[in-house]
Amino acid sequence: MTRGEVGFQAPRGQFEISKVAIIDLGIGNLFSITCALKKIGLEAEVTSSKQSLPDVDAVVLPGVGNFKEGSWNLRLLKPKIAQLVKSGIPLFGICLGMQLLFEDSEEGPGKGLSLLEGKVLRLPQQVKTPHMGWNTLKTVKSCELLDGISENAYFYFVHSYYASPTDGDVVVAETDYGLNFASVVASKNIYGAQFHPEKSGEPGKQILRSFVKIVKR
């Protein structure tokens, strides 16, 4: 099995099936993350940003692309997402989805979900953008999302901007690329990863397994 392949199958009966809504912002291929979540015991249902969110056990907000377009496409779901998060439903933002957890971005106009305080900044000029390829995490705070992840594990990144939280206490892991940026964040039932776990081989599958445990606890 090579990096990026999805091959983990939860043993039958190990988990009760929980339902997760994957929000389609219309700017990314959701096939990989949908398949990955289904194979680890979640009933994954893609929900258009123009639809109302159903009652679910978790929400996954993936995305590749522009913050302005993402925030615009997300605007109709913001109240429902805020309501679900307030009720304790786990929310996992991936790549652009993690950036949309914050308030705004240097990439362009538009407002994020503002579930976490801070803004999204451009990576330094001295590094090649986008930051594309494999890189490691440096854990700065214990978090169940990173259970079983070693310091030398590699994850797959594709981004030109990074989240800069106002409250450093939400930063769980950092990655070095011209500077140390927040690559994993967590606050109560809100989680975010700047990399793509569904494209990150075995370490990425372990992240998703940990998210399943969070959803089912």
CA-angle at 43, arms to 3 and 204, nearest 5°: 20
Q: How many other C-beta atoms are found inside a 10 Å radius of the C-beta of residue 96?
A: 28
Options 131, 159, 174, 198, the catalytic residue: 198
Options 5, 69, 95, 144, the catalytic residue: 95
Q: What three-state secondary structure class fits 38?
A: helix
- Which tokens go with 172? 């769980």
Active site residue 196: yes
Q: Which residues pair with 161 in a beta bridge?
A: 122
Q: Which candidate, 196, 64, 171, 175, places its Cα nearest to that of 116? A: 171
Active site residue 69: no
Whether 18 contacts 58, CB under 8 Å? yes
Q: How many CA atoms lie within 13 A of 108 on its CB side?
A: 9
Whether 205 contacts 38, CB under 8 Å? no
Active site residue 95: yes
Locus of tokens 């950036």: 99
- Cα radius of gyration rounded to whole Å, the chain: 16
Q: Rounded to an integer, what distance in angstroms lies between the CA atom of residue 191 and that of residue 37? A: 16
Q: Rounded to an integer, what distance in angstroms lies between the CA atom of residue 39 and that of residue 41? A: 6
Q: Which residues are catalytic?
A: 95, 196, 198
